[in-house]
Every structure is written in C-alpha cells, then in structure tokens.
Amino acid sequence: MNERTCIVTRRAGEPDGLLRFVAGPDMSVVPDLKRRLPGRGCWVTADRTHVDEATRKNLFARAFKAQVKPPADLGGLVDRLLAQSVLGSLGLARKAGQLVLGAAKVEGAVRSGKAVLVVHALEASPDGVRKIDQARRAVVWQEGPDIPSYKLFSEAELGLALGGANVIHAAVLAGDTGKAVLKRVVALDRYRGGTPDERIAVAATGDHDDAAAEDTE
C-alpha cells in the first residue's frame, strides 16, 4: 500500500502507523481497523490524541467533502475495538498453545527465548514484575531477543478473555499466532500513548488550523 496522509497533521506515513475511517450510510464516521470496508477512506495518525482532535474539529467533514458526523466518543470507540482485537488474539494464542500463564512459566519462557512478549495485569505486584524483568534483561545480556513487556489490561479483562483463568502474568510464545498478538498489542499500546515497560503520554501536537489533507481514496 502507498503512503497515506493524516488529516490532522497533514504528514504522510505508512498505513501501519495510521487508522482508516470511512463514511457510513447514515453519514457517521466508522473506524475501519482492518482496512476492508468499501468506500472512500481517510486516515488519522494511530493514537488517541489525533483521533480526538479530528473528532473535536470534525476534520472528517473536510476530508470526505460531506456533512459526516463522528461519534462524540470516537476515540473511546477505537480504543475498545483495538482492545477487543488484542484480547481475542490472546484467546486464540491460548487455544493454539502459544500462551503460558503464571509467573514461573512466564519467567521460564522468557529465559528460554521462546516468548515474543510478556503481558502483566494492571494489578501485578512490583515484585512479580521485577523478577520477570530481570529474566528479560538476562536474555538481552546473553545476546538474546529483547522481549517487550506490557501492562494494558486488568486481571478481570484478561481472565474473561482467557476463559475465566486467574491471569496476572502471561507470555505469548513465538509462532504465527504470537506474531499476530504482538502486532495488535503494539497497535493498542501506541494508540494509548504508551511504550513497553514505561507508559508515557503522547506529546500534544497543538492545533492544526490548515485545511485537512484531501487524502481519501
């Protein structure tokens, strides 16, 4: 796919760093996370800050050249859709045998180099996280992979997605399913303005008063 232009920043980028939106039959603005919906689409930098700005200023109307109306909580809707995608893929990884649960098994998967990412529940204790982080650093010191670690979901959210299990620590293992989970986790974390291990706020971009980029297809 060719580069697309964000309607907020007017900067071009690869599609993986942008979110696609289309105009629905009722002239609402619809997120198209899989980029499969028919019709003209416009693109927004893939983080909550830019989606909220596009909604607040209704830059979608300029991009579509039509009186479309985005939902007031479009940013929240996108967050929920991205989160559902991650949780669903974690469930598939468990069914495929590419997910291990529990601090000891996660640490073992990390030290063996089999893990592609680690997921901690928001309620995870600092001590539990620290032990797994030590394992991650040890793998890097031994010139192994730098395995990212994320805190994105509560224990309840993870448990519901994984069949009611008590989930505090989980590791996704290498494989096709694991790669799919990693891609979705990275997208959600980026959208929320975070980075692995240490969540940071997305810097405010300021107002963009220029006309929205006319990059629709």
pLDDT tens per residue, range 154-213 = 999 999 999 877 899 999 999 999 999 999 999 999 999 976 544 332 333 333 334 434
Asked whether residue 216 carries a pLDDT value surpassing 60, the answer given is no
Which sign, positive or negative, has the C-alpha torsion 7, 8, 14, 17?
A: negative
Name the average pLDDT for the chain: 88
**Residue 44 sits in the same domain as residue 110:** no
Is 202 domain-assigned?
no
Over residues 2-18, the mean pLDDT reads: 89
Instruction: Classify the C-alpha dihedral 141-133-109-188 as positive or negative.
Output: negative
- The answer to whether residue 42 sits within a structural domain is yes
C-alpha to C-alpha distance for 189 and 1, rounded to whole angstroms: 23
Span 23-50, average pLDDT? 94
Is the distance from CB of 160 to CB of 167 less than 8 angstroms? no
The DSSP symbol for 4 reads E
Q: Quick one: 90 and 43 in the same domain?
A: no
Contact (CB, 8 A) for 74 and 7: no
Amino acid at 193: G
Q: Indicate if the pLDDT at residue 107 is higher than 50.
A: yes
Contact at 8 Å (CB) between 139 and 111?
A: yes
Higher-scoring residue by pLDDT: 197, 51: 51
3-state SS, residue 199 = coil
At which of 77, 97, 132 does a domain end? 77
Does residue 125 or residue 163 have the better pLDDT?
125
> Residue 78: enclosing H or E segment and its boundaries?
helix 74-95
Residue 135 lies in a domain: yes
82 or 2: which leads in pLDDT: 82
- Same domain for 89 and 174, yes or no, is yes
- Using a 10 angstrom Cβ sphere, with 0-12 exposed, 13-18 middle and 19 or more buried, the burial of residue 36 is exposed
Question: Which pLDDT belongs to residue 178?
Answer: 92
What are the distances in angstroms from CA 180 to CA 54, 88, 173, 205?
28, 11, 11, 30
Query: Does one domain contain both 151 and 92?
Result: yes
Note the pLDDT of residue 3: 74
The pLDDT assigned to 102 comes to: 94
Within-domain flag for 198? no
Whether 70 and 88 share a structural domain: no
- Reply yes or no on whether the pLDDT at 89 is more than 80: yes
Output the CA angle 182-184-41, nearest 5 degrees: 145
Residue 171 near residue 109, CB atoms below 8 Å: yes
Per-residue pLDDT, 207? 39
In whole angstroms, what is the distance from residue 78 CA to residue 82 CA? 6
Into how many domains does the chain fold? 2
| Under 8 Å between Cβ of 15 and 33 | no
Distance CA 133, CA 149 (A): 8
For residue 200, the SS3 value is coil
- Residue 173 is part of which domain span? 79-191
DSSP run (H or E) holding 21:
strand 18-23
CATH code of the domain covering residue 176 = 3.30.1330.30
Determine, yes or no, domain membership for 211. no
217 falls in which pLDDT band (50, 70, 90)? low
For position 2, what pLDDT does the model report?
61
Share of the chain above pLDDT 90, in %: 81
